[in-house]
Protein backbone atom coordinates (compact mmCIF):
# COMPACT_ATOMS: atom_id res chain seq x y z
CA UNK A 1 0.00 0.00 0.00
CA UNK A 2 1.28 3.45 -0.90
CA UNK A 3 1.13 6.36 1.50
CA UNK A 4 0.65 10.02 0.66
CA UNK A 5 0.89 13.18 2.71
CA UNK A 6 -1.31 16.19 2.09
CA UNK A 7 -2.10 19.14 4.36
CA UNK A 8 -0.07 17.50 7.10
CA UNK A 9 -2.08 14.26 6.99
CA UNK A 10 -0.57 10.92 6.05
CA UNK A 11 -2.93 8.37 4.49
CA UNK A 12 -2.90 5.20 2.39
CA UNK A 13 -3.89 5.39 -1.29
CA UNK A 14 -4.32 3.08 -4.25
CA UNK A 15 -2.71 3.58 -7.66
CA UNK A 16 -5.44 6.11 -8.62
CA UNK A 17 -4.95 8.18 -5.46
CA UNK A 18 -8.14 7.06 -3.68
CA UNK A 19 -7.86 6.54 0.07
CA UNK A 20 -7.81 2.84 0.86
CA UNK A 21 -8.66 3.31 4.53
CA UNK A 22 -11.68 5.65 4.70
CA UNK A 23 -11.14 6.19 8.43
CA UNK A 24 -7.94 8.12 7.63
CA UNK A 25 -10.07 10.90 6.08
CA UNK A 26 -11.21 13.94 8.02
CA UNK A 27 -12.85 17.24 7.18
CA UNK A 28 -9.49 19.04 7.29
CA UNK A 29 -8.20 16.82 4.48
CA UNK A 30 -11.19 17.33 2.16
CA UNK A 31 -10.31 20.90 1.01
CA UNK A 32 -6.77 19.79 0.15
CA UNK A 33 -8.05 16.79 -1.83
CA UNK A 34 -10.56 19.03 -3.60
CA UNK A 35 -7.89 21.59 -4.46
CA UNK A 36 -5.81 18.87 -6.12
CA UNK A 37 -8.61 18.38 -8.66
CA UNK A 38 -9.43 22.08 -9.04
CA UNK A 39 -12.44 22.31 -6.74
CA UNK A 40 -13.06 24.86 -3.98
CA UNK A 41 -15.55 23.48 -1.49
CA UNK A 42 -18.83 25.29 -0.85
CA UNK A 43 -21.67 24.51 1.56
CA UNK A 44 -23.33 22.43 -1.15
CA UNK A 45 -20.16 20.39 -1.66
CA UNK A 46 -20.08 19.75 2.09
CA UNK A 47 -23.72 18.61 2.04
CA UNK A 48 -22.79 16.01 -0.58
CA UNK A 49 -19.57 14.94 1.15
CA UNK A 50 -21.23 14.51 4.53
CA UNK A 51 -24.03 12.48 2.93
CA UNK A 52 -21.49 10.25 1.17
CA UNK A 53 -19.57 9.63 4.39
CA UNK A 54 -22.73 8.83 6.38
CA UNK A 55 -24.13 6.62 3.63
CA UNK A 56 -20.84 4.72 3.33
CA UNK A 57 -20.79 4.14 7.09
CA UNK A 58 -24.31 2.70 6.82
CA UNK A 59 -24.03 0.65 3.60
CA UNK A 60 -20.31 -0.06 3.19
CA UNK A 61 -20.43 1.19 -0.42
CA UNK A 62 -19.91 4.55 -2.05
CA UNK A 63 -23.23 6.03 -3.16
CA UNK A 64 -23.91 6.48 -6.87
CA UNK A 65 -24.92 9.80 -8.42
CA UNK A 66 -28.55 8.76 -8.49
CA UNK A 67 -28.57 7.70 -4.84
CA UNK A 68 -26.83 10.92 -3.83
CA UNK A 69 -29.31 13.05 -5.77
CA UNK A 70 -32.36 11.25 -4.37
CA UNK A 71 -31.12 11.33 -0.77
CA UNK A 72 -29.95 14.97 -0.78
CA UNK A 73 -31.41 18.19 -2.15
CA UNK A 74 -28.77 18.25 -4.87
CA UNK A 75 -30.04 17.19 -8.32
CA UNK A 76 -27.80 15.18 -10.66
CA UNK A 77 -27.34 18.20 -12.94
CA UNK A 78 -26.00 20.19 -9.98
CA UNK A 79 -23.67 17.32 -9.00
CA UNK A 80 -22.12 17.66 -12.48
CA UNK A 81 -21.66 21.40 -11.84
CA UNK A 82 -20.14 20.86 -8.39
CA UNK A 83 -17.83 18.04 -9.47
CA UNK A 84 -17.24 18.63 -13.22
CA UNK A 85 -16.35 15.72 -15.50
CA UNK A 86 -16.78 12.36 -13.76
CA UNK A 87 -18.66 13.66 -10.70
CA UNK A 88 -19.13 10.28 -8.97
CA UNK A 89 -15.40 9.62 -9.11
CA UNK A 90 -14.51 13.12 -7.89
CA UNK A 91 -17.10 13.05 -5.11
CA UNK A 92 -15.69 9.77 -3.82
CA UNK A 93 -12.11 11.04 -4.08
CA UNK A 94 -12.77 14.18 -2.04
CA UNK A 95 -14.88 12.24 0.49
CA UNK A 96 -12.03 9.77 0.99
CA UNK A 97 -14.11 6.82 -0.19
CA UNK A 98 -13.61 4.01 -2.73
CA UNK A 99 -14.57 4.72 -6.31
CA UNK A 100 -18.25 3.75 -6.81
CA UNK A 101 -18.97 0.51 -8.65
CA UNK A 102 -19.38 1.14 -12.35
CA UNK A 103 -16.96 4.10 -12.45
CA UNK A 104 -14.26 3.76 -15.05
- Is 45 noted as a catalytic residue in this protein? no
Rounded CA-CA distance 14/91 in Å is 16
Residue 19 is given by DSSP the state: B
CB of 62 closer than 8 Å to CB of 97: yes
CB of 57 closer than 8 Å to CB of 50: no
Options 12, 33, 103, 104, the catalytic residue? 103
Could you give the residue numbers annotated as active site? 103
Amino acid sequence: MTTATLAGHEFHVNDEGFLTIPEEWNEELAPALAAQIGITLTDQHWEVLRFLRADFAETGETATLRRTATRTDVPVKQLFALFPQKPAKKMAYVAGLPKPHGCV
